[in-house]
Structure 1
């Protein structure tokens, strides 16, 4: 029997329930939606979570499509799922937890006697570290971004190769292999011996069906490659970036991009121009390094110094 919160499943069963993480301001219990898929045969354990950031909904779309398709009679091993991590932010469609103004994916491994975000992080970290593999579904917030998978433990980490392999298996086509900030699940779980990846499924307002389908395929790639399902899976070489150049606006005005997501960029290429409201050019921004046009703001209006776009750098194939 496998239990996660109130979800309990015998071998060959699936169950859903809630994982208690505290109370709201009126004293109502807060329970994250969870599922347990307990395979009929023994095998590895996969932990899958979504919506660590409350406005990153593509991962919820993946969970919504994957869980009903999983037949525990055909699975070897166990799949633990938290469908919505950042409960409070999800309710109000915001990025950060409004109870403590915290970005959830900076709160791991958490503290079960701490702030709202720390308590949620502690409860989900406990579930994650019961697993052999972790997939933490994200997206590039509401910006525009290519579909990519992040390895955040750092290239010198003892589990780096296992995390990189997991990212290649997931199969977004692009990998960012760069040590992440403290407090990320994809940083904290490898320290406990669990290979972890952070798929960034595009970036949109609401959700994007193409990125969701890529995420569904990625989860199934993992299930096949690591023996949860009988079918085999082999992965192809992917494009890796090991750094990011971020660009801000040198002036206020309107952005006109000269590159599209996924375009190759050569040092000196024009990335975007800034014009005033009458179309008069105010500034031109060129690439500092060669790489791939990776992420861009969604709205055209910018103030001086405001974020505009990112270029993935130090590119190779893995």
Structure 2
């Protein structure tokens, strides 16, 4: 029997329930939606979570479509899922937890006596620590971004090769291999000797069906590649970036992009122009280095100094 919160499943069974993480302002219990899929045969354990940022919904879409496709009778091992991590932010469609104004993915490994976010991080990480692999499903917030996977432990970490292998198996096509900030699950997992990746499934308002499709395919790749399901994975080469150049606007006005997501750019290529409301050119911004046009703001209006786009740099294939 495997139990997560109120969900308990014997071998060959699936169960859903709630994982208690505290109380709300009216004194009621706050419980995260969880699922346990206990395979009929023994094997590894995979932990999946979504929506640790409350407005990043593509991971929730992956969970919604993935779970009905999984038959415990066909699975070796177990899959543990927390469908919505940042409960309070999800309820109000915000990025940060409004109870403590924290970004959830800076609170790991958590603190059972800490703030709301730290308590949720503690409760979910206690589940994740029992797994052999961790997938933390994200997206590029509400900006526009390519579908990619992030390896955040740093290239000198003892788990780096295993995290990179997991990213390649997931197979979005693009990988950011750059050490992440303290408090990320994709940092805490490897520190606990668990290969962990952070798939960033596009970027949108609401959710995007193509990014969700790629996310579902990526999870299936992991399930096959690590022996949860029968079948092989064709490990295609991934385009890897080791960092970003980020570009702000030198002037206020309206953005006119000259590159699309995923385009290769060379140093000196025009990335975007800024015009006034009448279409008169105010400024033109070019790339500092060669790379991949990775991320861009969604709204066209900008103030001087405001973020506009990012280019993935130090590119290779692996």
TM (normalized to structure 1)? 1.00
Name the CA distance, whole Å, in 1 between partners of 2:86 and 2:234. Answer: 33
- Residue in structure 2 matched with residue 267 of structure 1 by the alignment: 267
- Cα RMSD after superposing both structures: 0.5
- Residue in structure 2 matched with residue 100 of structure 1 by the alignment: 100
- Residue in structure 2 matched with residue 78 of structure 1 by the alignment: 78
Name the CA distance, whole Å, in 2 between partners of 1:93 and 1:260. Answer: 28
Structure 1 residue 168 corresponds to structure 2 residue 201:
no
Q: What does 1:14-25 correspond to in 2, within 5 Å? A: 14-25=14-25
Question: 3-state DSSP class of the match of 1:295?
Answer: strand
Question: 3-state DSSP class of the match of 1:78?
Answer: strand
- Residue in structure 1 matched with residue 184 of structure 2 by the alignment: 184
- Residue in structure 2 matched with residue 158 of structure 1 by the alignment: 158
Name the CA distance, whole Å, in 1 between partners of 2:286 and 2:143. Answer: 20
Question: 3-state DSSP class of the match of 2:161?
Answer: helix
Structure 1 residue 188 displacement after superposition:
0.7
- Residue in structure 2 matched with residue 217 of structure 1 by the alignment: 217
Name the CA distance, whole Å, in 1 between partners of 2:306 and 2:124. Answer: 34
- Residue in structure 1 matched with residue 60 of structure 2 by the alignment: 60
CA deviation string 1:192-237 (max 9, x = no partner): 0000000000000000000000000000000000000011223111
* Residues matched between the structures, number: 318
- Residue in structure 2 matched with residue 297 of structure 1 by the alignment: 297
- Residue in structure 2 matched with residue 31 of structure 1 by the alignment: 31
Name the CA distance, whole Å, in 2 between partners of 1:16 and 1:125. Answer: 18
Structure 1 residue 313 corresponds to structure 2 residue 313:
yes
Structure 1 residue 127 displacement after superposition:
0.8
Question: 3-state DSSP class of the match of 1:271?
Answer: strand
Question: 3-state DSSP class of the match of 1:294?
Answer: strand
- Residue in structure 2 matched with residue 111 of structure 1 by the alignment: 111
Question: 3-state DSSP class of the match of 1:88?
Answer: helix
Name the CA distance, whole Å, in 2 between partners of 1:301 and 1:233. Answer: 43
Question: 3-state DSSP class of the match of 2:315?
Answer: strand
Structure 1 residue 137 displacement after superposition:
0.3
Question: 3-state DSSP class of the match of 1:220?
Answer: helix
Question: 3-state DSSP class of the match of 1:120?
Answer: helix
CA deviation string 1:233-256 (max 9, x = no partner): 231111000010000011100000
Question: 3-state DSSP class of the match of 1:221?
Answer: helix
Structure 1 residue 69 displacement after superposition:
1.1
Name the CA distance, whole Å, in 2 between partners of 1:188 and 1:175. Answer: 19
Q: What does 1:113-132 correspond to in 2, within 5 Å? A: 113-132=113-132
Name the CA distance, whole Å, in 1 between partners of 2:284 and 2:271. Answer: 8
Question: 3-state DSSP class of the match of 1:247?
Answer: strand
CA deviation string 1:66-108 (max 9, x = no partner): 1111100000000000000000000000000000001000000
CA deviation string 1:43-67 (max 9, x = no partner): 0000000001000000000000111
Name the CA distance, whole Å, in 2 between partners of 1:112 and 1:223. Answer: 31
Structure 1 residue 278 displacement after superposition:
1.0
Name the CA distance, whole Å, in 2 between partners of 1:226 and 1:59. Answer: 21
Question: 3-state DSSP class of the match of 1:81?
Answer: strand
Question: 3-state DSSP class of the match of 1:65?
Answer: helix
227-236 or 175-184: which moved more? 227-236
